[in-house]
Amino acid sequence: MATNHERPFDLLNKSIGQQVLIRLKNGVDLRGKVQSFDVHMNIVLENCEELGEDGGIKTKLGVILLRGGNILFISPA
């Protein structure tokens, strides 16, 4: 039986240049392209958009620095 021992930073590294969906601890959903990240999981997103409850674009934010401590989850968009 093969096991996958991929680490969280390996997955984030694969996400550079890719669009992701991020949910913050306050329930806000963001979608954007990962530009970079650091060891604290602070993430720079480009073309970032805040999504409304219906999944549509609520606000265009552009380039943002997202503090890692505010992130609940990250998913491929």
Domain boundaries, the chain: 9-76
pLDDT digits (tens, 9 = 90+) for 27-69: 999 999 999 999 999 999 999 999 999 989 999 999 999 999 9
What integer is the mean pLDDT of 14-38?
Answer: 97
What integer is the mean pLDDT of 10-31?
Answer: 95
pLDDT-derived band at 5 (thresholds 50, 70, 90) equals confident
Per-residue pLDDT at 43? 97
CATH architecture label of 9-76:
Roll (2.30)
Do residues 50 and 73 make contact, with C-beta atoms less than 8 angstroms apart? no
Q: Which residues in 48-72 are b (16+ Cβ under 10 Å) and which e?
A: bbbbeeeeeeeeebeeeebeeeebe
